[in-house]
């Protein structure tokens, strides 16, 4: 299945000796890498790897190039061997490394600067799944253009909720809602019972991991303190859990790339309001938040306020996929006056666009007013004007308002 990141992988192979593809387990890293690799070493399956690592590690790197080294982090010393081999060969496109966890901090790893480039792969976006036609391009929005010829149709709330439950893992594209729900819950169970302990060689309490995952899910797409997580966990766990333990569990989840922070945007204001710096927290795929809570269609339909936060997290995921294809990153804005903007997509060279994300059409007017208020706070002498102001809606259609703000259906947004 074609992925938006395929072009980025090829481009970076042309530019560097090795490419590291990072992403959560089962997001499609290995399959995408196999499309361009000429030989493959599967570190977690080849029984000779451990023996050769101590006797003749260079033999593991021999093979047609690009050579895929899958789950390389199991043998983190491979990083340095590959780095030296890239230096020796002095040519591009030699190795692709894929892994579903970062190596331990104790592993001594050279930065790889000048030899490695990195591709962050996520689960599939709506455009990759074929739900969005991509008629409204992120690239255009970052250039200040809006496709006025879009004639889309609104999508149902039921479809949006279905997609939240199923998620974007490639293996679930042909599964129904019930099947996907079971598989995603099993993913969370294995995460709590196996992966959290395996990745750091330290036994983790599965019950506490599950409780933390539930708290993360309840607070998805929000700025949440460690104090909040501690309080949530203690409501269902009589024993005390320390702040260092929560930090440790969060760090492990980040190493597994299960959670991904959305950093705060740093800019210049002409008002006296101070910028807030804390990140928002998201699961790598919104379906994992749903699975962690054990929610189904009825539960999400009966609590549309919470479902709105899940929708925001789902859209942030897609914005990240589309933004990355244009060398851009996704931030959020929050200041001390209480003003928030859900997403700021900013290119490396500085051009940016702002997005409010609303599940229903009844919030569009409020979102548009919020964007204009936000724009008025910026210091025009120190920050570029936005290329576009946008409201992404779930159940609405796409059009441009008289005030110039774009209303975009999530089913029309693409790369």
Listed by start position, the domains of the chain span 6-120, 126-414
Q: Strands of 273-381 (E only): list them.
A: 280-283, 328-334, 340-347, 352-358
Distance from the Cα of residue 242 to its chain's centroid? 28
Lowest mean pLDDT among 80-94, 120-134, 195-209, 367-381: 195-209
In this prediction, residue 105 carries a pLDDT of 53
Query: In the predicted model, what is the mean pLDDT of residues 67-90?
Result: 93
pLDDT in tens, 280-293: 999 999 999 999 99
Give the relative orientation of helices 286-293 and 304-324 as an angle to the nearest 10 degrees. 150
Structure tokens at 332: 């959020």
Q: The CATH number of 6-120 is which of 3.40.50.300, 3.40.50.2300, 3.10.20.30, 1.10.10.10?
A: 3.40.50.300
In this prediction, residue 331 carries a pLDDT of 98
Structure tokens at 200: 């750091």
Query: In the predicted model, what is the mean pLDDT of residues 312-326?
Result: 98
Cα separation, 258 vs 137, in Å, equals 27
- Cβ–Cβ < 8 Å for 63, 36: no
In this prediction, residue 108 carries a pLDDT of 47
Cα separation, 218 vs 60, in Å, equals 44
- Cβ–Cβ < 8 Å for 133, 412: yes
pLDDT in tens, 105-159: 555 456 667 789 999 999 999 999 999 999 999 999 999 999 989 989 889 999 9
């Amino acid at each position: 299945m074609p992925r938006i990141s395929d072009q980025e992988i090829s481009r970076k192979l042309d530019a560097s000796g090795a490419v590291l593809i990072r992403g959560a387990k089962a997001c499609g890293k290995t399959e995408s890498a196999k499309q361009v690799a000429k030989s493959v070493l599967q570190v977690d399956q080849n029984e000779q790897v451990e023996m050769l690592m101590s006797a003749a590690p260079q033999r593991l790197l021999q093979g047609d190039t690009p050579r895929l080294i899958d789950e390389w982090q199991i043998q983190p010393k491979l990083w340095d061997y590959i780095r030296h081999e890239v230096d020796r060969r002095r040519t591009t496109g030699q190795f692709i490394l894929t892994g579903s966890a970062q190596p331990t901090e104790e592993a001594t790893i050279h930065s790889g600067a000048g030899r490695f480039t990195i591709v962050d792969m996520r689960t599939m976006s709506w455009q990759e799944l074929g739900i969005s036609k991509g008629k409204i391009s992120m690239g255009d929005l970052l250039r200040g253009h809006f496709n006025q010829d879009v004639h889309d149709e609104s999508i149902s709330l039921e479809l949006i909720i279905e997609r939240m439950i199923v998620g974007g893992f490639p293996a679930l594209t042909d599964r129904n809602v019930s099947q996907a729900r079971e598989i995603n819950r099993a993913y969370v169970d294995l995460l709590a019972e196996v992966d959290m302990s395996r990745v750091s060689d330290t036994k983790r309490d599965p019950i506490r991991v599950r409780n933390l995952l539930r708290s993360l899910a309840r607070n998805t797409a929000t700025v949440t303190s460690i104090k909040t997580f501690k309080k949530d966990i203690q409501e269902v766990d009589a024993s005390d859990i320390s702040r260092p333990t929560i930090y440790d569990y969060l760090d492990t989840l980040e190493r597994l790339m299960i959670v991904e922070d959305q950093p705060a945007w740093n800019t210049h204001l002409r008002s006296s309001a101070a910028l807030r710096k804390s990140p928002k927290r998201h699961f790598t795929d919104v379906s994992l938040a749903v699975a962690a809570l054990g929610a189904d269609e009825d539960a999400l339909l009966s609590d549309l306020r919470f479902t709105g936060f899940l929708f925001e997290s789902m859209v942030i995921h897609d914005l990240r996929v589309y933004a990355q294809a244009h060398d851009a990153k996704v931030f959020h804005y929050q200041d001390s006056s209480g003003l928030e903007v859900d997403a700021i997509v900013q290119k490396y060279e500085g051009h940016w666009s702002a997005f409010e994300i609303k599940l229903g059409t009844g919030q569009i007017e409020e979102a548009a007013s919020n964007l204009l208020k936000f724009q008025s706070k910026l210091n025009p002498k120190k920050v570029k004007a936005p290329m576009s102001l946008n409201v992404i809606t779930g159940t609405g259609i796409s059009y441009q308002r008289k005030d110039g703000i774009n209303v975009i259906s999530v089913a029309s947004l693409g790369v």
